[in-house]
Amino acid sequence: MAVKRVRILPEDAREYTEQDWLVYGVVPNPKTRDKLLALTVEEMVKYGPASFNANKVCDRIDAKHALVNYYFGNKEMLIAEASVLSYRQSVIEHKANILAAPRDPEKRLRAFLNGELERHRRMGGWAILVSYPILSAESRSLIQQHFGEQLETYFQYYLAMVGTLILDLRNGTLSDFDFDENTIPKSKLLKHPKVVMDGISLVWSAHGLNVWSAGQQLGSANLEDPNFTQKMLIKHHIDNLVELAKGK
């Protein structure tokens, strides 16, 4: 699978084009609040939470530092909302990958798995923190308090996509994926409890690969053997996940 090239963005975010804002944000012509969210995601991806500086985010668009408190209350709430934004966008991206794949159940599943892997590579450690918000007790509490219900809905949406992929693969069907986070086909999927459980197993296993890829686990990051290349091992793991999805 071809890896998307990372768009090189200027340091002065006042020079951003509409496409630049869409690299980490959700709207091409964001207002100041949305700019701060997009730039927070960008800074987290590039430099990590330890080096994150909310004042620098403001400086990049020549905004007053007090705007962080004005729009979000404090830095922790800015980070919390940015992580929720990233999670929501990841789920939307997964669906886009499915629909862009060839109209074949197995190819759709592989596009989903490879797309998720590529996103974690692209977003690095931030992708891990978005799924497992352990940056600080305060940010985790804020996420749960203000966005817990929203995150649960999007996670159920994500699981519904996985379940639908598995059902299509086992039944030889091709779903339209015409549902969204507000119209999740829960009743349909709950008629197939083994599909639901296998879907969760698949997600757990895929997340292990994604977390390893995003952080490049230090003990194995530089290991390379001509008999067991990373590319070969990743393909083997994804092949195993496809076999699980087939029910074998």
User: What per-residue confidence (pLDDT) applies to 134?
Assistant: 57
Could you tell me the residue ranges of all domains in the chain? 6-73, 89-246
Query: Residue 235 burial by CB count (10 A; 0-12/13-18/19+): exposed, middle or buried?
Result: middle
* Total Cβ atoms within 10 A of residue 170: 16
User: What per-residue confidence (pLDDT) applies to 225?
Assistant: 62
Task: Give the span between the Cα atoms of 116 and 30, in whole angstroms.
Answer: 26
Cβ–Cβ under 8 Å, residues 230 and 117: no
Task: For the domain covering 6-73, report its CATH number.
Answer: 1.10.10.60
Strand partners, 102: none
User: What per-residue confidence (pLDDT) applies to 49?
Assistant: 82
User: What per-residue confidence (pLDDT) applies to 141?
Assistant: 83
For the chain, the distance separating the N- and C-terminal CA atoms, rounded to the nearest angstrom, is: 25
Provide the residue-wise pLDDT of the chain in tens; the chain has 248 residues.
Answer: 444 455 678 888 999 999 999 999 999 999 999 999 999 999 999 888 888 999 999 999 999 999 999 999 999 999 999 999 999 999 999 999 999 999 999 999 999 999 999 998 888 878 777 766 655 667 778 888 899 999 999 999 999 999 999 999 999 999 999 999 999 999 999 999 999 999 999 999 998 888 887 765 545 555 556 666 778 888 999 999 999 999 97
What's 14's DSSP letter?
G
* Total Cβ atoms within 10 A of residue 141: 13
Task: Give the span between the Cα atoms of 202 and 68, in whole angstroms.
Answer: 39
Task: Give the span between the Cα atoms of 33 and 216, in whole angstroms.
Answer: 33
User: What per-residue confidence (pLDDT) applies to 229?
Assistant: 77
